[in-house]
């Protein structure tokens, strides 16, 4: 029987095509088929193409569950983030799901709420085998994780930088992004610019604060540098820091916020105090949340490609978990300043 007729027989017989059938039709052994479907570099491109063509013709379905059992995978990826209520994170998580589900994995989300004990409890999932890997959006690694053999091959960081160059990570250039925002306000003639910053224990927020300070100093405005730190970058925190600043008699002409949530709270507090935006005070945020474009006035902000960041982080994690390959390099994604009404420019 010819190979073509054999394929037709398989499709019409009602019997499910197996990997052994694919191997026989491709005239290779089963291990070669398995490697080809896993995109192993040990199989030539020509052989991969031939096998994939047969897979397509026969309607063979890869059994991800069986493959995970053979490779001792649970099929789950844990995503750890500081607060699930923050509007920044859902788009990133959707990007993670988009990628891992195509590769037979599912996503479990854990919100740490800035609680070390909660972080440790969630991290247990890696040690018990309930999760194959962890994507951290917290900027920290619980000490418990570091007891796991080859732990650095089972974790990656997204968005908030982890202070360990051996951990693959996905981020933007936060220093350059803040420099972009500060230079834009300076170009509009602002000299009294305040930065409502995130926690300085985070390399991400520390890089932004350093860029703001350096850019102000380079403009000859070092004496006007004012960094107001908040451990959270929520709407409430933005409003509280803004009120504290105004009550202290500080009246900047522009404010750069650590996130759009914080900017929303700060702008609301400014309006309640009688300030008009952007005539009396200008604002720039970070993240480009969906609400930023429809606020009144609309918010100028640094756009971060959150969904792409999630997909890149998921791709990085699965590549990192493949012990047959070298550890993947970290990824820097592009940012963009989106100019709207809140800064008048």
CA distance 20 to 33: 9
Percent of the chain having pLDDT more than 70? 90
Task: Count the domains in the chain.
Answer: 3
283 DSSP β-pair partners = 255
pLDDT score recorded for residue 175: 97
The CATH number of the domain holding residue 282 is 3.40.50.2300
pLDDT score recorded for residue 38: 63
Query: Does residue 69 lie within any of the structural domains?
Result: no
Q: Same structural domain for residues 300 and 315?
A: no
| In the block, residue with structure tokens 């917290």 | 138
pLDDT score recorded for residue 345: 64
Query: Does residue 201 lie within any of the structural domains?
Result: yes
The tens digit of pLDDT for each residue in 228-242 reads: 999 888 999 999 999
Q: Taking 50 as the threshold, does the pLDDT of residue 10 lie above it? A: no
Contact 270, 242 (CB under 8 A): yes
Q: Same structural domain for residues 313 and 293?
A: no
Query: Does residue 209 lie within any of the structural domains?
Result: yes
Query: Does residue 220 lie within any of the structural domains?
Result: yes
Q: Same structural domain for residues 166 and 126?
A: yes
Q: Same structural domain for residues 183 and 260?
A: yes
Mean pLDDT (whole number) for 86-115: 92
CB contact set of 182 (below 8 Å; sequence gap of 6+): 193, 211, 212, 215, 216, 256
Query: Does residue 30 lie within any of the structural domains?
Result: yes
User: Which range of residues forms the domain containing residue 18?
Assistant: 3-62
pLDDT score recorded for residue 70: 45
Query: Does residue 68 lie within any of the structural domains?
Result: no
Q: In which band, very low, low, confident or very high, does the pLDDT at 323 lie, cut at 50, 70 and 90?
A: confident
pLDDT score recorded for residue 66: 47
Mean pLDDT (whole number) for 61-83: 68
Report the chain's mean pLDDT, rounded to a whole number: 89
The token duo for 101 is 């589900």
Q: Same structural domain for residues 178 and 270?
A: yes
pLDDT score recorded for residue 219: 98
Q: Same structural domain for residues 37 and 9?
A: yes
pLDDT score recorded for residue 84: 86
Q: Taking 80 as the threshold, does the pLDDT of residue 24 lie above it? A: yes
Q: Same structural domain for residues 212 and 274?
A: yes
The CATH number of the domain holding residue 25 is 1.10.260.40
Q: Same structural domain for residues 108 and 97?
A: yes
CA distance 69 to 92: 28
**Integer-rounded Cα radius of gyration of the chain:** 25
Mean pLDDT (whole number) for 11-39: 75
Query: Does residue 26 lie within any of the structural domains?
Result: yes
Kindly report the pTM of this predicted structure.
Answer: 0.76
Domain-ending residue, one of 11, 35, 62: 62
Q: Taking 50 as the threshold, does the pLDDT of residue 2 lie above it? A: no
CA distance 18 to 4: 17
Q: Same structural domain for residues 220 and 150?
A: no
Q: Same structural domain for residues 189 and 205?
A: yes
pLDDT score recorded for residue 45: 86
Q: Same structural domain for residues 195 and 246?
A: yes
Q: Same structural domain for residues 293 and 219?
A: yes
Mean pLDDT (whole number) for 308-314: 97
Q: Reply yes or no: is the peptide bond before residue 297 cis, omega within 30 of 0.
A: yes
Query: Does residue 67 lie within any of the structural domains?
Result: no
């Amino acid at each position: 029987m010819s190979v073509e007729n054999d394929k037709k027989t398989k499709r019409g017989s009602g019997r499910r095509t197996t990997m052994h059938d694919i191997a026989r039709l491709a005239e290779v052994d089963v291990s070669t088929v398995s490697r080809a479907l896993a995109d192993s570099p040990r199989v030539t491109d020509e052989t991969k193409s031939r096998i994939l063509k047969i897979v397509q013709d026969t309607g063979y379905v890869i059994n991800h569950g069986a493959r995970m059992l053979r490779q001792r995978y649970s099929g789950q990826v844990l995503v750890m983030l500081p607060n699930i209520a923050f509007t920044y994170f859902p788009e990133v998580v959707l990007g993670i799901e988009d990628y891992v589900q195509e590769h037979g994995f599912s996503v479990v989300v854990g919100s740490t709420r800035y609680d070390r004990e909660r972080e440790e409890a969630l991290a247990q999932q890696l040690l018990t085998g309930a999760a194959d890997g962890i994507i951290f959006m917290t900027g920290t690694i619980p000490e418990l994780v570091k007891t796991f053999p080859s732990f650095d091959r089972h974790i990656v960081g997204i968005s908030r930088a982890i202070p360990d160059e051996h951990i693959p990570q996905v981020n933007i250039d936060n220093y350059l992004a803040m420099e972009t925002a500060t230079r834009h306000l300076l170009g509009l003639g602002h000299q009294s610019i305040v930065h409502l910053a995130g926690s300085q224990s985070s390399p991400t927020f520390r890089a932004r604060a350093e860029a703001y300070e350096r850019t102000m100093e380079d403009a000859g405005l070092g004496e006007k540098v004012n960094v107001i730190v908040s451990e959270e970058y929520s709407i409430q925190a933005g409003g509280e820091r803004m009120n504290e600043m105004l009550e202290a008699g500080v009246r900047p002409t522009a404010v750069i916020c650590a996130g759009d949530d914080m900017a929303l709270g700060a702008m609301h507090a400014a309006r309640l105090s009688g300030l008009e935006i952007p005539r009396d005070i200008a604002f720039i945020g970070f993240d480009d949340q969906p609400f930023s474009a429809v606020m009144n006035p609309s918010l100028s902000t640094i756009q971060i490609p959150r969904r792409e960041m999630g997909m890149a982080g998921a791709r990085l994690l699965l590549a990192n978990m493949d012990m047959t390959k070298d550890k993947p390099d970290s990824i820097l994604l592009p940012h963009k300043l989106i100019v709207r009404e809140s800064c008048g420019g």
